[in-house]
Structure 1
Amino acid sequence: MDAPLFSDEKLIDKFHDALVWPDLCDEESQSVRKKSIESNFSADAVVGGNAEVDIPLPSFLTWLGPKLDAEAKLSTAYARDKLLEEADTIFGKVVENSERKLIEIAATYMSDFTDRMLFVDAPGGIFTNFRGDVCDNDIISKMLETAPRPLVFIDAKKDSQILPTMIEMEDGGFRPAYKKFESELFGRGEIVFPSDDNKEKTKEYWEKLKQKSSSSRFAMEVVEDCCDGGRIGWIDFRMMFSNEGSTLHLHASPAGRYHTGTFAYNFVHRGFKFGCRIIGTLKAGNSVNILGIYDK
């Protein structure tokens, strides 16, 4: 198991509340009538139960937390009986944090929305589901028509280029990071940032940027220069998604709670040097809202 380099606490809290609907919150000690629904972590529901079909847990998940470090029993996960019963009155204060909630979100998907768990390598650019089936653009577009959003697990390999594109500072003001790349790496009129609807020009732009920016150090310095000692409200990146020039749009909202170096050095520079792991929710347009980032 590991603790994340970055986690979006507010996004995780809201997503967890919408998905899990917890009975208790982490306020003050309180007394409630316990409503017991078969747990997502129970051995019979997700891991370690007696089931006819055993499917190995994807390797991406084995380090996330002890609750997920086992074989998933999908036959029971799909046909899980939800038992509602009254129990004794309980007293207590729930231990809550974004890391635990993120693991519980993953466990809930394993139990109830397995087909909406997507895994992808970068570069590689091919989404697969929990069973290893390839999910093409048509399948993913269909997924995005209904809730909940697909939960995506990105395994960014060594030498994965992560390029900052736009930053809004916590105290206000936009910093178009991509313009620093253009001014430093391209000659006048050589290439301009394309419109979103021109897919071929977009691929050409990022492929040229990839060729010109073979080191992560410049991208790291772009983040540092743009922030200039301030705190980041939100920051967008493009990750080289496939060897054909397509990219993945990544959106992170630290809301001023993280140092610039978390994204400049640890994410951009170390992510390029060693790789990293990203968990997020998938949106249309090959775009991801980042829930958590983990070092390798």
Structure 2
Amino acid sequence: EARGRAVVDAEAPFGTGLAWLAAPEASALCNATRVRGGTYTPHCAAIHPGKLVRGLADAVERLGVTIREQTRVLRLQPGRVETEAGSVRAEVIVRATEGYTAGLPGHRRLLVPLYSLMAVTEPLPASFWAHAGLARRETFSDFRRMIIYGQRTADDRLAFGGRGAPYHYGSQVAPAFGQDTRVHTAIDRTLVDLFPALGPRPPVTHRWGGPLGVPRDWTASVGLDRSTGLAWGGGYVGDGVATANLAGRTLADLISGRDSARARLPWVGHRWPQWEPEPLRWLAINAGLRLAEFADAREARTGRVFRPAAVLGHLTGE
């Protein structure tokens, strides 16, 4: 509750419309267990990110753009991209590789891949939604440190995800990391805790996961170095659906030389500090994850802020 109120106060000068709701008002929107209040903004919508990507791809192909999928990039250079199938030359090259950036030579410490995992239930009956709320498909999260998030889908499923997967040494990524059984079990447990009407085993039909791109200062960035022709966009952490779309529009303005409000936003041209070298990176990130889990458990048990967890700010850039 204290963190939620603090966020509302911090957002107030920016006029974002974020409001604090008392427990009855918050429960009327999302009737999870032990609701003590909540933050609410009307400026949020649930979309299907896969359909958004496919729709955008169809739109640019109709404009004559060629998309080459399954083409692994080996190296970026000014004016040139080296792939497994050959080289491509271009005046401007955009690096938008997020959680996979560390696989590029010279980029190992730029963005750390941290995995977020999700599950989705079978379509749930009207009786469940009558109790759970989310009548207008409001998206939801809470203020625990190990972030969780969810939404009601258009076909009445409950899509729910969270963090907690370990950071893998050397910024490794692999499909198996998105199927971490321990994390998926924790997601199920949290889902049932929030919505007991799901029963002891939530009726999950699909599970998946993937790496987020996390910069050392946790600040997203877009930019274009005109001296090299290398552009970039990334560092969205968990806000990539909307932020990547904004980044694409901003990069279009920067590359075309169009003066716009987007091209003057504070994140344009921001440069990230490097992450620490291994093994410090592995030790610090995984210790931070465990501390966040411990702090959440302690706060849930006592109802009081666990102040030693403030050290996490040194890791997250807060």
Higher relative contact order (CA 8 A, sep 6+): 1
